[in-house]
Amino acid sequence: MSSLALTHRAPRLAAALPYLALIGGIVSLSMGTSFAKSLYPMVGAAGTASLRVGLSALILLAVWRPWRAGLTRADLKGLAIYGAVMGAMNLCFYMSLATIPLGVALAIEFTGPLTIALLNSRKLIHFVWVGFAVLGLALLLPFDGNVQALDPVGCAYAAAAAVFWALYIVFGKRVSHLPSGASVAVGMSVAALTVVPFGAATAGLSLLDPSILLLGLVVALVSSALPYTLDMIALKGIPKRTFGVMLSGDPAVGALAGLLFLGEHLSGLQWLAIAAIVTASVGAVLTSPEGEDQPLREPGAPA
């Protein structure tokens, strides 16, 4: 290939790299969460959440070394609240996966940041997106008592994760002025202190089994470290609005990952519900003014 052809292709590759990074982050996160579910028979949902959050915290501490950031007592207090909410969000999400499919859990959880995005709705079109979100939830949640309906306990955990995700955005915004790497490292450490006791209570010393620790490390890398790194690359070259639109497809990608890696088959109505929630999220991003809260995945979020 001639040097002239390479010169012409280089700008195209540079322009495509952020989008490839974002797609890679979305796929990595869904694959990591699917793989995490395979740990449930060994250590349970709380144990899996403990491995994911605890090992992620160790990785982030080693990379960012937040003790060098000069954080004040007030900073640490804000990060403690942020981290505790992050831990509760992760724990509830992984508990939901014990009884409901990954794509469905993601769709329900996604209503948390979507609610934040639409909370200050000023335009009529925003209520259209609210309608899509309500339609999606109505199709998902087990209101009719049908034998094929979703497990209500799993749905309740996913709904709790949605609430904590919304709070995570609120409290995360309050510490957004702090160095991002140090903030996430401290927050994830507090999240680990919040989650690990639940995992230890249910899984006990099996969490320290070398083979299980190795699997947990893979989960932490693929569902936390790698997506976060790829998202950082993507954000440098993709407008925030476009970033939000692409991330809005997380529930659909999660449903496909659940189908491919976990054999989780969804009904036609459940696929329609996921499509409705994705539509609501995309619409909210596209019609919200730049700078307003949008339903974006945050670095410490599980999905």
pLDDT digits (tens, 9 = 90+) for 189-198: 999 999 999 9
The percentage of the chain sitting over the pLDDT mark of 90, rounded to a whole number, equals 44
Among 262, 197, 195, 211, which Cα is nearest to 52's?
195
pLDDT (tens digit per residue) in 50-94: 999 999 999 989 988 999 999 999 999 999 999 999 999 999 999
pLDDT of res. 301: 44
Dmax (CA) for the chain in angstroms is: 66
Domains in the chain: boundaries: 17-287
Question: Residue 203 in 3-state DSSP?
Answer: helix
Cα separation of 259 and 102, whole Å? 9
For residue 272, the Cα-to-chain-centroid distance in whole angstroms is: 21
pLDDT of res. 223: 87
Environment class of residue 62 by beta-carbon count within 10 Å: exposed (0-12), middle (13-18) or buried (19+)? exposed
Task: Compute the average pLDDT of residues 144-161.
Answer: 79
Environment class of residue 163 by beta-carbon count within 10 Å: exposed (0-12), middle (13-18) or buried (19+)? middle
pLDDT of res. 142: 60
Q: What is the pTM of this model?
A: 0.86
